[in-house]
Amino acid sequence: MDRVKVTWFGHSSVLLQMHGLNILSDPMFSERSSPFQWVGPRRFTSPSVSMDELPHIDAVLLSHDHYDHLDRRTVQQLARKTDRFIVSLGLENHLRCWKIPAAKITPLAWWKSADINGLEVTCTPSRHFSGRGLVGQNSTQWCSWVLRDEYHSIFNSGDGSYPQTVTPEPP
pLDDT, one tens digit per residue, over 2-20 is: 789 998 877 778 899 999 9
Q: Which residues pair with 121 in a beta bridge?
A: 114, 147
**Which pTM value belongs to this model?**
0.82
Asked if residue 167 is part of any domain, the answer here is no
Asked if residue 51 is part of any domain, the answer here is yes
Asked if residue 93 is part of any domain, the answer here is yes
What DSSP character marks residue 37? T
CATH number reported for the structural domain that contains residue 40 in this entry: 3.60.15.10
Asked if residue 55 is part of any domain, the answer here is yes
Asked if residue 91 is part of any domain, the answer here is yes
Count of H-run helices and E-run strands, the chain:
2, 10
Question: Do 105 and 83 form a contact (C-beta atoms < 8 A)?
Answer: no
Residues spanned by the domain of 85: 5-156
Asked if residue 68 is part of any domain, the answer here is yes
Give residue-wise pLDDT tens across range 86-113.
998 888 988 999 899 999 999 999 899 9
Number of domain units in the chain: 1
> What's the CA gap between 49 and 28, in Å, rounded?
12
Question: Do 95 and 78 form a contact (C-beta atoms < 8 A)?
Answer: no
DSSP-based helix, strand, coil % in the chain, nearest 5:
15, 30, 55
Asked if residue 13 is part of any domain, the answer here is yes
Per-block mean pLDDT, blocks of 10 residues, the chain (171 long): 82 88 87 60 70 93 73 89 92 91 95 96 75 60 85 77 53 39
**Residue 40: left if φ>0, alpha if ψ -120 to 50, beta else—which one?**
left
